[in-house]
Chains A and B, each alone.
Chain A
Amino acid sequence: MFAASGISYSIDSARLLRDVSLTLSPGEVVAIIGPNGAGKSTFLKVLGGEIQPTDGIVSMEGRNLVSWGRQALARRRSIMPQSSKIAFPFSVFEIVMMGRSPHAVSEESEIDYDIAGAAMARTGVNDLALRNYNTLSGGEQQRVQLARALAQIWTGPKHTLKDSHSDRYLFLDEPVASMDPSHQHETLRIAREFSQHNVGVLIILHDINLAAMYADRIAVFNQGELVADGEAVAILDEHLMLEVFGIHVLVQRHPTLSCPLIVALPEEIAVRSDLITARQERLSEQARKSST
């Protein structure tokens, strides 16, 4: 289990995180949502060990993060950064292979090539293997970075690495920001797929509907605080959305899935939302009557 307890972080007098506690278990997908500047990325940096919290403890498998060896940690926890340019023209395959470097002591083995290839196939960047990373579009670059993060914690049946079957963690920082809709869904499918193989997945998302559809739990950040943490059905409602994001929404039932569907409303309509809900209930009642 990956656990952050009582995390606070401040720079100068600004408190960026205030007493945040969140756990991530292997097998679950947790989405973090929140407005800009709510502390989502800062929190991810704390979880990644990049910055030391002023207060609180981050632990993996019950051991404080700082007591883990760099390589042992890198083999079990990978982080996909927000989009990044690189200084030199590396090929896509080279970038993805870098994800295997915690496993390859000196030279990459056949297994590492296979895994990098499989990771690229899974994120659909196979055809780009020999392209220069910097010439790709933003969405393609994100899929390459995703493939790199996947390759880093990828294990297959024939791999006999010492800690290959232990629990692993995948942190994604706005992985779908530049992707088209089909790749956005594919990315979240991949996240779910990995979660079924002893991987705990933490995703920062802006699209609340994506989060509601794919995440087991949603953690809502606002002004450096964790204001809600739970199943989408349980926590997403009009009040929370207005309070945290300052937007008026209609929380609907997803027509085919068992998750809520958030529909944003322009402010002038929002005040009449009670009427809309009433009308919808009337319509659905009529439909039920006519079917019986």
Chain B
Amino acid sequence: MPANYIQGFPPLDWTEQKSLLLGTMVKDDHPDGLQKLRARQFRNRLTHVFLVCGLFGAALVSVCSGAVAVTPGQIASILGERLGIALPWTYEYQHELVVISLRLPRIILGILVGGTLALSGAALQGLFRNPLADPALVGVSSGAALGAVGFIVLGGSVAGLLPEVFGPFYLPTAAFAGGLLIAVLVYRIGVVDGRTQVATMLLAGIAFNAICSALIGMFVFNSDDQQLRDLTFWTMGSLSRNTWGMLLPVFPLLLLPCVVIPLLSRSLNAYVLGESEAGHLGYNVEQLKMLTIVFTSLAIGAAVAVSGIIAFVGLVVPHLARLLLGSDHRQVLPCSLLLGAILILLADVISRTMVVPAELPIGVVTSCIGGPFFLWLLINKRMLRGI
């Protein structure tokens, strides 16, 4: 600015501001919040330790309860013998059979399925920037169920053409492909000009849900009694396909997302600010979207392939995690993983012990608990505060 624009008035001296030199401000002005933040970080770590303990506790409860009751001591003996350590508790052959070939694979399956469902739910909520996004609601689960059912009914005619060696992988792959297809379609429809249109996305999910359910119904209509019983399996969910042979092929498919998705937590945090804002912070947004969609579809597809659609876990658990630890995805993702696993294990215990010797579908249990709980959250408004 020319200094002589008005004679006699010196231009405003910006250098007065130099007392507020950027560097000198750094030390003195700690926010009050920093101490509290440190305390919160400590509390977060503590919560994770508790959750890990809780997971072991839930696994122990799960392995002990059921039609055949087994004491913790007997389990220690059974596991000890496998490792060559003799422990004082006595058990019968029947106990060993139940624990090793039925309950252990079931528990591992439960942990992986519950963990990946909740983790995928949390990641999808982050990606859609919407607290209502859920594997089931956006149609990925029913897409995966459709893939699996379609393969069971139609697969017989194709199976002869495919190599026998990969046999166990076909069903999970079909489920995965179904889930991925729906995820991509929903995302394509829901995102217009680079902006996620929440209502469109959810409505598209509902439409795909309806379409998939109708197609599943058609497949089931054309199937025999045994396949009819399977309908319950796919729509209500169950951990009853608990054999090591069933578990092994999906094990890597479930484990991989558990490793990869938490790595995205920092980018998901930035993505909450908005797509372009995340880009301005130096994140590769396209890559983030791609990785999230592929790995959540992988997780959900694999989970549905072995356990059917287990409702509400992917929706409710991330909200619980946020209530416990705040919205930072670095906390929410691992916490969801642990909480989801714990909840599935406990729900499975209920489903196995309520109507012995029969079994309730686990989806009935999760919906019975999850539905009212979610309503309570809504009414309490704690979860929705600021959303």
Residues of A within 8 A of B (CB): 45, 48-50, 70-71, 73-75, 77-79, 81, 84, 86-95, 98-99, 101-102, 113-115, 117-118, 120-122, 126-127, 129-130, 132-135, 152, 154-158, 189, 192-194, 196-197, 216, 231-233, 253-254, 256-259
Question: CA A81 – CA B281 in complex, angstroms?
Answer: 12
B385 on the A face (CB < 8 A): yes
Is A130 within 8 A of B37, CB to CB?
yes
Given A50-B279, A193-B22, A117 and B30 contact (CB-CB distance below 8 Å) = yes
B387 on the A face (CB < 8 A): yes
B274 on the A face (CB < 8 A): yes
B358 nearest CB across to chain A (Å): 41
B42 on the A face (CB < 8 A): no
Other-chain contact of B22, A87, A155, A259 (Cβ < 8 Å): A155
Other-chain contact of A120, B11, B17, B20, B31 (Cβ < 8 Å): B31
B243 on the A face (CB < 8 A): no
Given A88-B387, A189-B17, A98 and B22 contact (CB-CB distance below 8 Å) = no
Is B18 within 8 A of A196, CB to CB?
yes
Question: CA A49 – CA B277 in complex, angstroms?
Answer: 11
- A158 cross-chain contacts in B, Cβ below 8 A: 23, 26
A118 nearest CB across to chain B (Å): 5
- B5 cross-chain contacts in A, Cβ below 8 A: 233, 253, 258-259
Question: CA A224 – CA B283 in complex, angstroms?
Answer: 30
In chain A, what residue has the closest Cβ to B327? A88
Is A258 within 8 A of B9, CB to CB?
yes
Is B11 within 8 A of A154, CB to CB?
no
Other-chain contact of A156, B15, B23, B328, B387 (Cβ < 8 Å): B23
A63 nearest CB across to chain B (Å): 16
In chain B, what residue has the closest Cβ to A114? B26
Q: What is the count of residue pairs linking A and B with beta-carbon distances less than 8 angstroms?
A: 176
Question: CA A216 – CA B2 in complex, angstroms?
Answer: 10
B355 on the A face (CB < 8 A): no
Question: CA A108 – CA B273 in complex, angstroms?
Answer: 18
Is A197 within 8 A of B12, CB to CB?
no
Closest 10 CB pairs of A and B: A129-B33, A74-B282, A134-B386, A121-B29, A157-B23, A87-B129, A258-B5, A88-B327, A71-B282, A89-B386
Is A74 within 8 A of B17, CB to CB?
no
In chain B, what residue has the closest Cβ to A49? B279
Is B22 within 8 A of A84, CB to CB?
no
- B2 cross-chain contacts in A, Cβ below 8 A: 231, 233, 258
B101 on the A face (CB < 8 A): no
- A74 cross-chain contacts in B, Cβ below 8 A: 280-282
A120 nearest CB across to chain B (Å): 6
Is B31 within 8 A of A152, CB to CB?
no
In chain A, what residue has the closest Cβ to B383? A89
Question: CA A91 – CA B272 in complex, angstroms?
Answer: 12
Question: CA A89 – CA B325 in complex, angstroms?
Answer: 11
Is B29 within 8 A of A257, CB to CB?
no
Other-chain contact of B276, A81, A113, A133 (Cβ < 8 Å): A81
Is A152 within 8 A of B281, CB to CB?
yes
Is A93 within 8 A of B31, CB to CB?
yes
B9 nearest CB across to chain A (Å): 6
B8 nearest CB across to chain A (Å): 10
Is A258 within 8 A of B1, CB to CB?
yes
Given A70-B282, A89-B327, A121-B29, A101 and B266 contact (CB-CB distance below 8 Å) = yes
Given A118-B25, A197-B22, A231-B1, A256 and B276 contact (CB-CB distance below 8 Å) = no
- A94 cross-chain contacts in B, Cβ below 8 A: 269, 326-328
Residue among A48, A118, A133 having the largest count of chain B Cβ atoms under 10 Å: A118
B158 on the A face (CB < 8 A): no
Mark interface residues in B322-359 (1 if CB within 8 Å of A CB, else 0): 10001110000000000000000000000000000000
- B33 cross-chain contacts in A, Cβ below 8 A: 91-93, 126, 129-130
Given A81-B277, A256-B9, A132 and B31 contact (CB-CB distance below 8 Å) = no
B14 on the A face (CB < 8 A): yes
B199 on the A face (CB < 8 A): no
- B14 cross-chain contacts in A, Cβ below 8 A: 192-193, 196
B68 on the A face (CB < 8 A): no
Given A98-B270, A231-B1, A70 and B17 contact (CB-CB distance below 8 Å) = no
Mark interface residues in B271-311 (1 if CB within 8 Å of A CB, else 0): 01110110111111000000000000000000000000000
Given A89-B322, A89-B386, A193-B20, A126 and B281 contact (CB-CB distance below 8 Å) = no
Question: CA A254 – CA B11 in complex, angstroms?
Answer: 11
B130 on the A face (CB < 8 A): yes
B175 nearest CB across to chain A (Å): 29
- A73 cross-chain contacts in B, Cβ below 8 A: 282
Given A94-B326, A113-B34, A121-B31, A102 and B282 contact (CB-CB distance below 8 Å) = yes
B258 nearest CB across to chain A (Å): 19
B36 on the A face (CB < 8 A): yes
B27 on the A face (CB < 8 A): yes
Given A87-B131, A253-B6, A154 and B22 contact (CB-CB distance below 8 Å) = yes
Is A257 within 8 A of B12, CB to CB?
yes
Question: CA A91 – CA B191 in complex, angstroms?
Answer: 27
In chain A, what residue has the closest Cβ to B384? A89
Residue among A79, A117, A127 having the largest count of chain B Cβ atoms under 10 Å: A117
Question: CA A256 – CA B7 in complex, angstroms?
Answer: 10
Question: CA A45 – CA B27 in complex, angstroms?
Answer: 35
Question: CA A81 – CA B322 in complex, angstroms?
Answer: 26
Given A70-B284, A132-B385, A254-B6, A88 and B322 contact (CB-CB distance below 8 Å) = yes
B32 on the A face (CB < 8 A): yes
